[in-house]
Amino acid sequence: MTDEMAADEASAIRARRIIEAVAAIPKGRVASYGAIAARAGYPGRARLIGKVLGEAPNRPDLPWHRVLRADGRIGIPAGTRGFREQCRRLKAEGVIVKDGRVPMSAFGLDHDLDRAIWGLPA
């Protein structure tokens, strides 16, 4: 196997793991790019998530709209078609979006996990 083939295979595995992590976000919930990177096994590689999602051939079938910046902001520039589509999809799932931001404390996966493990108040 050549170095180029090995790199292509590693890239495909990385993309598959990221897509699986995104696909696992339940309807009505969101996760940050960083949380998805960590769940896929690539902590600290949040930008990689956006790159993979942007290049995914099956993007219409992925819940890409459930991935946000760590502070709950939509990562797509405001006013663009993609921004409006992400807002529309999130709202259709019951997620509150105000001024391009989702309250992560109410809709983020990590906060639910903390509550489930530690019994923190909702």
The more confident residue out of 2 and 50 is: 50
pLDDT value of residue 58: 74
Examine the pLDDT at 120 and tell me if it is beyond 80: no
Dihedral in degrees, nearest 10, Cα atoms 90, 114, 52, 66 = 0
pLDDT band at 2 (very low <50, low <70, confident <90, very high): confident
pTM: 0.83
pLDDT digit string, tens, across residues 30-83: 999 999 999 999 999 999 999 999 888 777 789 999 999 999 999 999 999 999
| Domains present along the chain, CATH in parentheses | 3-118 (1.10.10.10)
Q: In sequence order, what are the residues at sequence separation of 6 or more whose Cβ sits closer than 8 angstroms to the Cβ of residue 53? A: 18, 22, 59, 62, 64, 67
pLDDT digit string, tens, across residues 86-107: 999 999 999 999 999 999 988 9
Distance CA 48, CA 68 (A): 13
> Which secondary structure element, helix H or strand E, spans residue 110, and what is its range?
helix 109-118
Examine the pLDDT at 29 and tell me if it is beyond 90: yes
Distance CA 111, CA 105 (A): 6
pLDDT value of residue 57: 78
Distance CA 25, CA 94 (A): 14
